[in-house]
Amino acid sequence: MTVVLVLVGLAALVAVVVVPFRLPWPRYVRWLITVAAIPDPWGIVSTPWPGLQEAVVETVTQGPDCLLVWVAGLPPARLRVLTLRGATPEAAAVLDRWAAAGTPLLEVPGADGELTLCGPMRSVGGLQAVPCPPGPLLGTGDAPTVMSQPMP
C-alpha cells in the first residue's frame, strides 16, 4: 500500500511539473504571471519576479527614428506606448504579426528599465516605456504609418 501511495504521489508531482508546459500559449502566460507572484515557501528563490504582466500589441507605427508599439495590458488598462530604437525588419514583422493576431504576450521588465515582450516562439527586447506622450503621436504632428495588416 505504501508503494502505491508513493507512486501516486510521484505521478501527481510529475503532472504538476509537466502540465503547465503543455498549456496553450494564453494560459501559459497567465500561469507564468501567477507563479512569479507567489513567494517561494521553501526559500529557494529569494524574491518573486516582480513586474511580469500580460500585454497585447494593439498597433505598430513608424515614428521619426523608432518604432512606436502601442500596448494594452490585460486585464484591459489604458493604452501605453513603447519605443523600439534601431528595430530590425524582423522585429517589426514579429510585432506586426502579434498585433494582427491579438497574441497575448508576457511583458518582462529588465533591471535597466527596458522591457521585453515574449511571444510563443520569439521575443522582442529593448523596448522603452514612454512616460507621457505629448500630442496625438509623441508630438510628431504627422499621421502614423500603421504597419499592422490582417493576417492572410
What's the residue count for the chain? 152
The predicted structure's pLDDT at residue 64: 78
Residue 63, pLDDT above cutoff 60? yes
The predicted structure's pLDDT at residue 45: 66
Name the pLDDT band for 137 (thresholds 50, 70, 90): very low
Give buried/exposed letters for 126-135 (b at 16+ CB in 10 A, else e): bbbebeeeee
Q: Say if 44 falls within a structural domain.
A: no
Q: What's the total number of domains in the chain? A: 2
83: nearest Cα among 48, 39, 123, 114: 114
31 with 44: CB under 8 angstroms?
no
User: pLDDT per residue over 70-102, tens digit each?
Assistant: 888 866 667 888 899 888 889 999 999 999 999
Q: Are residues 140 and 67 in the same domain?
A: yes
**Mean pLDDT along residues 10-22:** 75
116 with 125: CB under 8 angstroms?
yes
Range of the domain at 9: 2-37
**123 burial level (CB within 10 Å; 0-12, 13-18, 19+):** middle
The predicted structure's pLDDT at residue 141: 37
Q: Are residues 26 and 99 in the same domain?
A: no
Q: Say if 99 falls within a structural domain.
A: yes
The span from the CA of 125 to the CA of 114, in Å, is: 7
Residue 150, pLDDT above cutoff 50? no
Mean pLDDT for the chain overall: 78
Q: Are residues 92 and 118 in the same domain?
A: yes
The predicted structure's pLDDT at residue 5: 86
